[in-house]
Amino acid sequence: MKTTFKVIAAIFGLGMVILLGLHLFLQHGLTRTMRDVVLPRIKAETGIDARVGRLSINLPNGILYLNDVAVKNPDGFLLENLASVERVRLEIDLYSLLKQKPIIVKSIEVEQALLNVVRNQAGEINLNQLQAAAPSSEPLPYTEQPPPEKAPDLRREPPAPAPEPVVEAKPLPEVMIEVLLCRAKVRYVDLKLNQLDIALDLGVTGVNLSTQRDPSLPWGELSVIGSLGNKRTRFVTDLQMRLAPLADPQAPSFDLTGKVLEIDPRIMEEAYSKLGIRSAPFGLDPSIHCRGGWFQDSMVVLNLVDIVLEDKLADRLGGMASIDSLR
């Protein structure tokens, strides 16, 4: 009996050593693989320059950590990074990882996220330039050309060209995210518009967000709440979204409702100039409904207050100089 216990203890001890070694290998080897293989390939194929400071894993508990994640801004834009995250914590159900239908992500916690949206003096926005063309491949080395083919017999009809193969988009892996928590700052810098520079503090919460292909599954929920960082009464944001399982990113189904209050009127400066008006901070009431990628019965209500009419427009309207509110 003592021998049996010794054997069991030895096997258990060996298993712990192997598990610890695997844990250390994954913790340090994954970071090296991410830096040396994954990120360079992403840049070569998409032009997106990303970096990860450190990647670690707690294998027994199924927890993955990403630290100091950043995406560089495209060339020609102010600020070094387009986006950065101090830390991401993912907790995964290990059994579902083996089963893979679906992969259950118990929680995702994003800490200190920053998104820099920049419009340069040429009117270009960095988000639109992010998907830059991948670097062109090197020219192929010279090879000896095959002998020319014989001229076809014109008395016969040429064969019909072979149909091009239909490339089907690879479906997304089926994933269920039970809880998403994110604290983020969204900074908007507009160099074309009077050096506008504002930063919003936002909290994002999501529940039961998935990419499963079963249409009968309940929809997930996403909420975004926040305001202007240094003036809590400005850009007051309260948005709610119901999102169907996202099996096809090109054909989403969702309902988005809520309010954004006290928006800086400088954002509308170009439109106001064309209309011949000036306004105090305005608000938006979105009610957007999308089914399979098509909008249905959707609208965004614009709430303007303290509207001042320019002289030309005021003259056209019989001397009306201002409007208290307009919806």
Structure tokens at 17: 């050593």
Write down the pLDDT at residue 66. 85
Rounded Cα gap, residues 298 and 290, in angstroms: 8
Looking at residue 152, its pLDDT comes to 54
The pLDDT of residue 95 is: 83
**Residue with the two structure tokens 């009306």:** 320
HSE-CB of 140 using CA atoms within 13 angstroms = 3
Rounded CA separation 223/12 (Å): 46
| Residue (of 115, 91, 116) closest to 105 by Cα position | 91
Q: What is the pTM of this model?
A: 0.70
pLDDT tens, N- to C-terminus, the chain (327 residues): 444 343 344 434 434 443 444 444 455 566 676 677 777 777 776 677 888 888 888 878 888 888 888 888 888 887 888 889 999 898 988 888 777 678 888 999 999 999 998 888 888 888 888 755 445 444 444 444 555 555 555 555 556 666 655 555 566 678 899 999 999 999 988 888 767 888 889 999 999 999 888 888 899 999 999 998 767 778 889 999 999 998 888 889 999 999 988 887 777 777 777 777 777 788 899 999 999 999 999 999 988 877 777 777 777 777 777 777 777
Residue 155 confidence (pLDDT)? 54
Tokens representing 34? 């991410």
Q: Hey, where are the domains in the chain?
A: 1-131+172-326
3-state secondary structure of 36: helix
The backbone torsions φ and ψ at residue 284, rounded to the nearest 5 degrees and listed phi first, read -125, 140
Each as own residue / partner, the long-range contacts of residues 235-242 (CB below 8 Å, 24 or more positions apart, any chain) are 235/198, 235/200, 235/260, 235/261, 235/262, 235/263, 235/264, 236/260, 236/261, 236/262, 237/200, 237/202, 237/261, 239/286
